[in-house]
Amino acid sequence: MEKHCTDSRVKGVSTGTTILAAIFDGGVVIGSDSRASMGGEYVSSKTINKVIQVHDRIFCCMAGSLADAQAVIKSAKFHLSFHSVQMESPPQVIAAASVLKDLCYKNKDELQAGFLTAGWDKKNGPQVYVVSLGGMLISQQVTIGGSGSTYIYGYVDAKYKPNMTKEECLQFATNALALAMGRDNVSGGVAHLVVITEKGVEHVVVPGDKLPKFHDE
């Protein structure tokens, strides 16, 4: 496997990704690409799942080292489940984000993983949280992450409006992911999107060839 890993700062498989989450009127959309790479030149998986469900109405997107992110999410799922049993009620989105933040902050020397957490809970409605590499936790209306996010900051800043409809928000998210995948070599594959509302959870998968095309494609 040595020939696959060249200069990447992440050892092993990296998600080298584009992830985003955005709040709309009544819910939240969270999405990612599906490429896993090793060393920036070998695509080890075209269909990796980076949007993981950690509870009924809470999803997380992972970025960074795939092994670290999967391990942290596994641990977070357990803690959240246990917390939910003890409280006898579904966890709040901030609880999920805090669990991830705790794991990332306490093990910041060993881990290379960042997360977006998005979900809906009864007390605060739709929410989006970012847990960065070192364990910072902040809440935002719309957020993007991963290596591909650098190419779409302009798009997101210009096109995001609060209180969009679900369809507008889905289109916004698909466009953003498509633009990032078009410019970032370690993002690609299909676009995985999940729409979370009070009523439930809806998965939308947009295959690579159905992604919106822009002027030079």
Partner 1 sequence: MALANIFETPAPGFNFDNAGRNAALEGLFDGGNTPKPMKTGTTIAGVVFKDGVVLGADTRATSDEVVADKMCAKIHYISPNIYCCGAGTAADTEKTTDLLSSNLTIYSLNSGRNPRVVMAVNILQDMLYRYHGQIGANLILGGVDCTGNHLYTVGPYGSVDKVPYLSMGSGDLAALGILEDGFKPDLELEPAKELVRAAIQAGIMNDLGSGNNIDICVITKQGVDYIRPYRESQYKDNRKMKYKYRPGTTTVLTKEVVPLKLEVVQETVQKMETT
The binding site for partner 1 (CB under 8 A) comprises 1, 3, 11-13, 36, 44-45, 47-48, 65-68, 70-71, 74, 110
**SS3 state of residue 179:** helix
Dig out the tokens for 205 from the structure.
């998968």
Kindly tell me which of 33 and 121 has the beta carbon lying closer to partner 1.
Answer: 33
For the chain, the C-alpha Rg in angstroms (whole number) is: 16
Residue 13 C-beta: closest distance to partner 1, Å: 4
**Cα 7 to Cα 11, 20, 21, 37, 40, distances in angstroms:** 9, 26, 30, 12, 8
Catalytic residue among 6, 15, 17, 174: 17
Considering the complex, state which of residue 109 and residue 216 has its C-beta at the smaller distance from partner 1: 109
Are the C-beta atoms of residues 5 and 38 closer than 8 Å to each other? yes
Please report how close the Cβ of residue 98 comes to partner 1 at its closest, in angstroms: 21
Phi, psi of 86, deg, nearest 5: -65, -40
The least distance separating partner 1 from the CB of residue 4, rounded to whole angstroms, comes to 9
Nearest to 173, CA basis, from 198, 205, 199, 201: 205
User: Considering beta carbons, is residue 110 or 167 the nearer one to partner 1?
Assistant: 110
**Known active-site residue 6:** no
CB of 164 to partner 1, least distance (A): 33
Tokens read off for 89? 């009620």
33/68 with CB nearer partner 1: 68
Residues recognised as catalytic: 17
